[in-house]
Amino acid sequence: MGSTRLAVKEPRLAVKEPHLPAPANDQDPALLEMFRRYRRSADPQLREDLVCHYLPLAKKIARRYVRVGVPLDDLSQIGTIGLMNAVGSYDPARGVKFEAYAYHHIAGEIRHYLRDSVEQVRA
């Protein structure tokens, strides 16, 4: 008989490498440039243009949180606040796609609102 080999996996050593985010190459270069210009200048018109461009994203996320007693318009407005925060703090140099970055801000703002409004009803 030949030699028998056991299928034993050797433990891998954990190699610490810097976390590299997914490249934002799939974003529109014009939008990336708008974000870069906004980061440099904090121009309110650029911010407004970016927020208006991504409003459908905020409304789409708000639709996921529709609850009895909370109108969609209210959730959309709260989501827009999260979107404005995301536009204000987004750094395109980090390589993260804006939609992924904004999703957490928008959904988080809506969840905070729902949490706070439920607590007020219970109190």
Give the number of C-alpha atoms closer than 13 A to the C-alpha of residue 122, restricted to the C-beta side: 6
- Mean per-residue pLDDT, 84-93: 95
Domain CATH for 73 = 1.10.1740.10
Q: Residue 35 belongs to what domain range?
A: 29-122
pLDDT attached to residue 35: 95
Q: What is the mean pLDDT of the chain?
A: 82
Q: HEC states along 22-91?
A: CCCCCCCHHHHHHHHHHHHHCCHHHHHHHHHHHHHHHHHHHHCCCECCECHHHHHHHHHHHHHHHHHHCC
More confident site: 13 or 42? 42
The CA distance from 74 to 41, in Å, is 31
pTM higher than the cut 0.85: no
**Confidence at 15, pLDDT banded by 50, 70, 90:** very low
Structural domains of the chain, count: 1
Residue 115 falls inside a structural domain: yes
For 18-22, 31-35, 48-52, 75-79, which range has the lowest pLDDT when averaged over its residues?
18-22
